Amino acid sequence: MDGVLRYHARMTSDVSAALRYRGRFAPSPTGPLHFGSLVAAVGSYLDARTADGEWLLRMEDVDAPRSVPGAADVILRNLESLGFAWEGEVIQQSRRTAHYRAMFERLRRDGSVFACACTRREVADSALGADAASRYPGTCRNGLPPGREARAWRLKVEPGLVCFDDALQGRVCQDLAAEVGDFVVLRADGYFAYQLAVVVDDAEQGVTHVVRGADLLDSTPRQICLQRRLGLAQPDYLHLPAAVNAAGEKLSKQTRARPIAADRPQTALMAALGFLGQQPPADLADARLEDLWRWAIMHWQRSRLPRGRFTPAPPGY
């Protein structure tokens, strides 16, 4: 394993601080690394390395009730056993509340957010957006109803399309006002919402390219909305197809996705490369981990990535 880390260190030792490309992998520590997360890790890692860029690692544990104690350490060990190497310290969102608070206060000072008394049930029973998901109807936008107390804080969303060009999925547009409504940035339980945390983290870490699963594609317009409201740079986006099981469900802890076996990292990496359309030679399954990564970095091609939001995972995953 030390040889793998030294190999990647040599490959990135000449990278200057003024990088054009800075990518990241940001798993949620809700359980061990599974195939869906591995696909995102491999895709983001190879896209960064082929661009002579940096690859950062961040634990998105802002949603403390969902985080599993010890899961972050397990994921780090999983990544190390698979031969990943990252730059800098591993950022944990649970330790960055002050940063999110500062950005939230900026939004509050300029009138971009408002207090909301609505419960989840009340929102769920309201109007539906274009994708049949619950859409916030603006109940508290102009003030709390009489006798109600604030629970959460929402960002005021203005009518009009938010569009961006995804490097794989193409042009994506969403009318946030019609499809989502004013969305939460500070939750009723006191935790800052993922949408705000990820925007602040990407900006402060200087992330220039976000490569992640297409299950997060619909979240991107909300993040772009926040970036624009806060005057933050917008990264380039590439949303890889998300791996789904035989029932068409996204691989996750909730759908009982199998953890990646650490004893044969080459097998898992070969499966991830195949899923991403990179067509690794079969004999690499028995190669040294360093050689497998060397081939993957040299042969990474975005043009081979499968299009679409969801793709079945290979058998066994």
Q: Which residues are catalytic?
A: 253
Strand pairing category for 310-312 and 242-244? parallel
The gap between the terminal CA atoms of the chain, to the nearest Å, is 24
Distance CA 215, CA 210 (A): 13
Cβ neighbours, 10 Å, residue 87: 17
CA-to-CA distance for 135 and 218, rounded, in angstroms? 14
The answer to whether 35 and 41 are in contact (CB under 8 A) is no
Q: Where are the beta strands (DSSP E) in 34-99?
A: 54-59, 91-92
**34 strand-pairing partners:** 259
What span, in angstroms and rounded, lies between the C-alpha atoms of 4 and 123?
A: 50
Residue 60 phi/psi, 5-degree rounding, is: -90, 80
Distance CA 176, CA 164 (A): 13
Measure the CA–CA gap between 55 and 179, rounded to whole angstroms. Answer: 33
